[in-house]
A and B are shown apart, each in its own frame.
Chain A
């Protein structure tokens, strides 16, 4: 594993990275809690992928690059600019929810203000959209990039092949990401694809594919930094596979103990990437345990406040059901 120093990030940036990682975990825990006590009805989690998502997202310019995420990318959306309150508003399905104003299930992140494009639940349909966004950049002669993510299960959809093929032909500034957490709900990778790495597929489309250990903050960050530089300078797309953990069940409606062994789950939890990252931060002198505890308290307070504020917001007016079916 590479040292954090090798990332080239400043101390402040590295502390910010840790804040985003920890906020992602604590916020997700809150979303589960709200589901369990019956205040919300659904959650789908990115726990285990926070370090990878923060390292990925930090390589982009959030005020100009366009993000087309999938449902586990809450932490990356936070880095892109969404707030804890934005996320909780979506979980409650409030009218002020920037993702969909209460129209989509939770975890369907989007924000016009923050350049995060809404996505459908039909997995990986955002990938062809990302080529459209990238083609727009090429047409306008601008240097913004499209980043789009999906899981290793949904990467098998036909539209992913169509999108990558076109992106390769046109050398589009788009970065395709597969967050490989080994399970498509309950289906293990052995039953999902036959090649060794998902990233091998990129070679068939004429661009580079890279597989990265998602627990290695520096490796993920530098990989994306290079991919961003290449895409911005007209060198075309990349496929980046992030090997990550899925610490939770697929969703609030799933129970992974049915299809994963206790030992497997325990082993995975013991090597939680946040623990690994914290150890690196302490060892390399970025933060002390006391600093982290203090930050954790601040994050918990932020999330408590966001929860209270979001819960107090009004629900959608019933008659708004008919709003925006068509343009006026």
Chain B
């Protein structure tokens, strides 16, 4: 075990997989050389595994998307990094038209095991184009997996599982968590499944479902409210698509009171789908309407600190919503 950040945990996970399997290669803008990516997630990998296995691409997201598929069909496990989740859009055609369907459209003759990594989320004064939650674009796209870890332990275990997965995976990394979270992480080989939600706190009064930065608020809020007699179950979605329906619905049934918290816009987010699932499977177990706490339906947060704060859900709002729900 060693104490490390979320960012260091992802770096270690990738490094272990590159050491284990020479077919693992990683690339993207600024990814190679000594820089190791705009946030430094790939730092040291080029030195360890060579400039051929960890390399820079030109500023071409479509190419990053398709290069990974071409390597995938040749038996490689390619990891393509996009600098920001907002910048994936030029590669969307490659991800949805090529990577997602390669297995399906050949009934398994050709496959493309790929991890597309990208930082997402706000709270770093990134303005509209460096703060967005684009995961909803790739949710509801059968053939693709969309995942995000919420702590360093999961970060390492899930990146390893994503690399070993035979499906194309979009691996969202919350950029505020990169250096914010530190925790003990095993330095030996382990995997965290990329198709399972995680009950991070057992509780009996209300259920809070979230992921990423917002989940950290939910955990912290739950601990505070426990002292006031509100016992909250907290669930980390982790697998944003396909969703782990069973775990999510069971957690909802358990307390009958559900709060869904996302940093994304309220309408059309991952949480909208979770709400629909709970309604379908657990309507008569509910003791209150499903409650959503989310960003407003503006394109994203502004650069100005006032606009960024206005957009983002904060811990106080989570606490307030949990109390309201508990008292319903």
Bound pair: A and B? yes
| A129:B97 contact, CB within 8 angstroms | no
Contacts of A100 in B (CB 8 A): 105-107
Q: Is B25 an interface residue (CB 8 A)?
A: yes
Instruction: Indicate which residue in B67, B105, B110, B111 contacts A135 across the interface (CB closer than 8 Å).
Output: B67
Interface residues of B in 96-137 (CB under 8 A from A): 97-98, 101-111, 113
Task: Give the distance in Å from the alpha carbon of A158 to the alpha carbon of B142 in the complex.
Answer: 26
**Contacts known (A129-B70, A132-B71, A159-B62); A324 close to B107, Cβ less than 8 A:** yes
| B57:A166 contact, CB within 8 angstroms | yes
Interface string of A104-124 (1 = CB under 8 A from B): 100010111000011011100
| B104:A325 contact, CB within 8 angstroms | yes
Residue of B with least CB distance to A158:
B62
Q: Is B140 an interface residue (CB 8 A)?
A: no
Instruction: Indicate which residue in B70, B72, B107, B142 contacts A131 across the interface (CB closer than 8 Å).
Output: B70
**Contacts known (A132-B68, A135-B70, A327-B165); A120 close to B98, Cβ less than 8 A:** yes
Interface residues of A in 159-177 (CB under 8 A from B): 159, 162-163, 165-166, 169
| B102:A159 contact, CB within 8 angstroms | no
Q: Is A220 an interface residue (CB 8 A)?
A: no
Residue of B with least CB distance to A164:
B63
**Contacts known (A117-B110, A132-B74); A125 close to B67, Cβ less than 8 A:** no
Contacts of B193 in A (CB 8 A): none
Task: Give the distance in Å from the alpha carbon of A327 to the alpha carbon of B69 in the complex.
Answer: 16
Size category of the B interface is 35 or more
Contacts of B107 in A (CB 8 A): 100-101, 103, 320, 323-324
Q: Is A136 an interface residue (CB 8 A)?
A: yes
Q: Is A139 an interface residue (CB 8 A)?
A: yes
| A122:B97 contact, CB within 8 angstroms | yes
Q: Is A98 an interface residue (CB 8 A)?
A: yes
Contacts of B97 in A (CB 8 A): 120-122, 125
**Contacts known (A103-B104, A324-B103); A166 close to B63, Cβ less than 8 A:** yes
Task: Give the distance in Å from the alpha carbon of A301 to the alpha carbon of B193 in the complex.
Answer: 55
Task: Give the distance in Å from the alpha carbon of A159 to the alpha carbon of B60 in the complex.
Answer: 9
| B111:A325 contact, CB within 8 angstroms | no
| A136:B62 contact, CB within 8 angstroms | no
| A327:B106 contact, CB within 8 angstroms | no
Q: Is A244 an interface residue (CB 8 A)?
A: no
Contacts of B101 in A (CB 8 A): 120
Residue of A with least CB distance to B145:
A326
Interface centre among A66, A108, A129, A135 (most CB of B within 10 A): A129
Q: Is A128 an interface residue (CB 8 A)?
A: yes
Contacts of A128 in B (CB 8 A): 62-63, 65-67, 69-70, 94
Residue of A with least CB distance to B78:
A132
| B102:A118 contact, CB within 8 angstroms | yes
| B60:A162 contact, CB within 8 angstroms | yes
Contacts of B63 in A (CB 8 A): 128, 131, 159, 162-163, 165-166
Q: Is A78 an interface residue (CB 8 A)?
A: no
Q: Is B73 an interface residue (CB 8 A)?
A: yes
Q: Is A133 an interface residue (CB 8 A)?
A: yes
Task: Give the distance in Å from the alpha carbon of A128 to the alpha carbon of B68 in the complex.
Answer: 9
Q: Is A130 an interface residue (CB 8 A)?
A: yes
- Tell me the smallest distance from the CB of A314 to a CB of chain B, in Å: 14
Q: Is A89 an interface residue (CB 8 A)?
A: no
Residue of A with least CB distance to B25:
A139
Contacts of A134 in B (CB 8 A): 70
Interface residues of A in 81-109 (CB under 8 A from B): 98-101, 103-104, 108
Contacts of B204 in A (CB 8 A): none
Interface residues of A in 130-186 (CB under 8 A from B): 130-139, 146, 158-159, 162-163, 165-166, 169
Contacts of A98 in B (CB 8 A): 109
- Tell me the smallest distance from the CB of A139 to a CB of chain B, in Å: 6
Residue of A with least CB distance to B65:
A128
Task: Give the distance in Å from the alpha carbon of A133 to the alpha carbon of B62 in the complex.
Answer: 15
Q: Is A49 an interface residue (CB 8 A)?
A: no
Residue of B with least CB distance to A169:
B58
Contacts of B317 in A (CB 8 A): none
Instruction: Indicate which residue in A66, A120, A327 contacts B103 across the interface (CB closer than 8 Å).
Output: A327
| B104:A324 contact, CB within 8 angstroms | yes
| A166:B105 contact, CB within 8 angstroms | no
Task: Give the distance in Å from the alpha carbon of A118 to the alpha carbon of B94 in the complex.
Answer: 13
Q: Is B143 an interface residue (CB 8 A)?
A: yes
- Tell me the smallest distance from the CB of A39 to a CB of chain B, in Å: 23
Task: Give the distance in Å from the alpha carbon of A111 to the alpha carbon of B105 in the complex.
Answer: 12
Q: Is A281 an interface residue (CB 8 A)?
A: no
Contacts of A125 in B (CB 8 A): 66, 93-94, 97-98
Q: Is B205 an interface residue (CB 8 A)?
A: no
- Tell me the smallest distance from the CB of A133 to a CB of chain B, in Å: 4
| A118:B25 contact, CB within 8 angstroms | no
Q: Is B315 an interface residue (CB 8 A)?
A: no
Q: Is B53 an interface residue (CB 8 A)?
A: yes
- Tell me the smallest distance from the CB of A274 to a CB of chain B, in Å: 32
Q: Is A51 an interface residue (CB 8 A)?
A: no
| B76:A131 contact, CB within 8 angstroms | no
Q: Is A57 an interface residue (CB 8 A)?
A: no
Q: Is A127 an interface residue (CB 8 A)?
A: yes
The 9 A-B residue pairs with the shortest CB-CB distance in the complex, in nearest-first order: A132-B70, A128-B66, A327-B166, A136-B74, A129-B70, A162-B63, A101-B107, A162-B60, A112-B109
- A sample of 5 inter-chain contacts (CB < 8 A) reads A122-B93, A128-B94, A166-B58, A166-B63, A326-B103
Q: Give B residues with C-beta under 8 Å from A.
A: 25, 52-53, 57-58, 60, 62-63, 65-76, 78, 90, 93-94, 97-98, 101-111, 113, 142-143, 145, 165-167
Known: A128-B70, A132-B72, A132-B74. 6 other contacts (CB 8 A): A103-B104, A136-B71, A146-B70, A324-B103, A324-B107, A326-B167
